[in-house]
Amino acid sequence: MAAPRRDTRGIVGAEEFLARVDFRRPEPAEALRRHVEHYWLIDWDLREPYVSHVVPHPSVHIVFQQFEGQDPFVEVAGIQLGLFTQKLEGRGRVCGIKFRPGGFRPFAPGQGVSEWTGRRLHSPEAFPTADLEAVLTPDDEDARIAALDTFLLSLAPRPDPQADLAMALVDRIRTDRTIRRVADFARAEGMSVRLLQRLFAGHVGVGPKWVILRYRIHEALERAETDTAVDWAALAADLGYADQAHLVRDFTATVGVPPTAYATNPAAANPAASRSGTP
């Protein structure tokens, strides 16, 4: 089982984001770590509005949210396909649950995960045991974490060998850069392409090709954020692109600006690229 990430992959303009909000990623209870990568807690108190942007991971989230002047709510966010843009202003708090790619289905076994993809749904009907006050009210962080643990454990996730397989396959894609083609990956796993795609649709929410491409963009985004002298042609080859132009095209379509422009000024990322997603 992969440990919770401590990097900032996917966060556009990570340095500014972390300077504006108080962002933490605590671990869930031991019994939940098989399915949940981490919780994510954000608190903010801003004098001026701030717009955050995230290139989402292939994960489903359940998110408890409190924005100043609004009633608190909880929503299920399926995998978002484009750049997520969220305006933060005044004071607020978010307590999110990030499931491992493939790990959400045991908590909601009634439908394939692809049916949640691209959607953000307020969830009192889906998860009536969600206690908004217990999760969002306490200033004590441990109390919030305990409330999230209680909520998830009350759902009694069912054993699902297919979910276990999906989680293992996605983690393999995330950590092995040599995985570049779906057909080759399926063959190496002793599966047909159709069977692999069906597994991903039912338990991950997007196809294996999308996952491969998204992890490439996360890698390129982090390199642009941390290294102003990136050899983009060499990175494109390392990530499995046919050439630099293909990397530039995918990066620009996802983030909103070419990688060289982003490396010079992360704030240049275009919030109009898309408007759906989660951290």
Q: Is residue 240 part of a domain?
A: yes
Question: What single-letter DSSP state applies at residue 226?
Answer: H
Q: Is residue 275 part of a domain?
A: no
Choose one of 154, 182, 206: the last residue of a domain: 154
In this structure, the answer to whether residues 137 and 244 fall within a common structural domain is: no
| Calpha distance 53→217 (Å, rounded) | 14
In this structure, the answer to whether residues 75 and 167 fall within a common structural domain is: no
Looking at residue 3, its pLDDT comes to: 54
| Calpha distance 190→133 (Å, rounded) | 47
Structural domain of residue 203, as residue ranges?
A: 161-268
The separation between CA 146 and the C-alpha centre of its own chain, rounded to angstroms, equals: 22
The residues facing 38 across adjacent strands are: 98
pLDDT digits (tens, 9 = 90+) for 26-74: 999 999 999 999 999 999 999 999 999 999 999 999 999 999 999 999 9
pTM assigned to the model: 0.90
In this structure, the answer to whether residues 146 and 210 fall within a common structural domain is: no
Choose one of 107, 134, 154: the last residue of a domain: 154
Residue 4 predicted with pLDDT over 80: no
Compute the Cα dihedral for 9, 15, 16, 19 and give only its sign: positive
In this structure, the answer to whether residues 118 and 35 fall within a common structural domain is: yes
What stretch of H or E contains 77? strand 73-77
- Ramachandran sector of residue 59 (left: φ over 0; alpha: ψ -120 to 50; beta: rest): beta
Residue 276 predicted with pLDDT over 50: no
CATH of the domain at 208: 1.10.10.60
Q: Is residue 6 part of a domain?
A: no
